[in-house]
Amino acid sequence: MRKGFIFLIFFLLVSPTNAEEKYKSFNDTFLKKESNKSYERNVDISSQKECLKASDYEGCMNFYSSLKNKNRTIIEKDCIKRQCKPDEITQKTDNLGMKILKGFYFREDPIERYALYFDFDNLYKVNSKGEYGRFFHARSVIRFYSKGFEGYSALVGGGSANCSTYGSSINCNTTRPRLINIPQKAAGPRQNKLDYIYDCKDETVAVYEENKLKKWEDKKGKKKKWHKWEDFTSLWTNSKSRIEILKGVCNGNNEAIKAANVANSNFYLFKDKGPKKRNYSGSKNVGNINCNSPVWKNKPRCN
């Protein structure tokens, strides 16, 4: 799983297409499409004229229709060499045999057996104890192939014996270690959901993998749970322009909100109690420790 996140970071850093690539994309998707439409219109007109003379009009039209379908060009994008936008994806499944997630940007690696999905175009506002506006959410999904593992049994804990004597007799009570059985897990494709949570108050971001807060390395190799936006690569912090949009959303700027397609999030972990975050209540201390002090601010207890 660690290797998968490295791939994810790499794909987030892929630069946008240049002018030549944009023109090629326009040529492939629009000009060829219009050319095909023109061809199809000519086939329709000529086929109707020819089939009016035929004894079997319906059979004649079906013949010309099959010719039209045979000559139709299906434009496929290579989502291995480059990241594909949602409207560029023509394949129905990824290399793991799972259905393509609609609305997500997509890239895959059949050799490493990975498929990566990014919801780049949307940002979601998180319900934190009934309030909205401080936390926002972005989504991505990693699919990968797992070799699985065999099941096994193990003894947990140690045995014990308590003995007492009464005259010449000895009575003992013994306990045995607990036996647990770990079931096998078959090989096959797996899917992990990654949720990026952005805190507008202190401009930090955290990663929840399968609804669990995880420690990830930042750009400097430092491992912690919450990172400053400029120090961590994620969906909305992978460029200065996207960070500016994120800041605009936090400040309630209507243009930024529109650009980020802000909607309500289905991320529910903060709904009842809020996040487990040292400054959520406004406090700068953890117990009797001042987490803003140079001695403690980088310690695990304060992150």
% of residues, the chain, pLDDT over 90: 50
Q: For tokens 């890239």, what's the residue?
A: 107
**Does position 12 have pLDDT exceeding 80, yes or no?**
no
Residue 200 — pLDDT band, cuts 50, 70, 90? very high
User: What pLDDT does 18 receive?
Assistant: 39
Task: Quick: pLDDT tens for 126-142.
Answer: 999 999 999 999 999 99
Sequence-ordered alpha helix ranges (H) in 159-239: none
CB 279 within 8 A of CB 273: no
- Give the pTM: 0.63
Report the pLDDT value the prediction gives residue 123, as an integer from 0 to 100: 98
CA distance 206 to 237: 11
Q: What is the tens place of the pLDDT at every residue in 111-121?
A: 999 999 999 99
Assess whether pLDDT exceeds 80 at residue 125. yes
Q: How many angstroms separate the most distant Cα atoms in the chain? A: 119
Domain extent listing, the chain: 21-71, 94-147+188-272, 277-303
State the pLDDT at residue 290. Answer: 63
User: Count H helices, E strands: the chain?
Assistant: 6, 17
- Report d(CA 295, CA 238) in Å as an integer: 30
- Distance CA(26)–CA(30), nearest Å, equals 5
pLDDT at 43: 46
Contact 141, 36 (CB under 8 A): no
Question: What's phi and psi for 9, nearest 5 deg?
Answer: -60, -40
Q: What is the mean pLDDT of residues 262-282?
A: 83
| Residue with the two structure tokens 């979601």 | 124
Please report the pLDDT score of residue 105 as a whole number. 97
Which residues are within 8 A (CB) of 294 and not within 5 positions of it... i.e. 6 or more apart? none
Please identify which residue in the block is written with the tokens 């086939």: 43
Please give the pLDDT value at position 206: 96
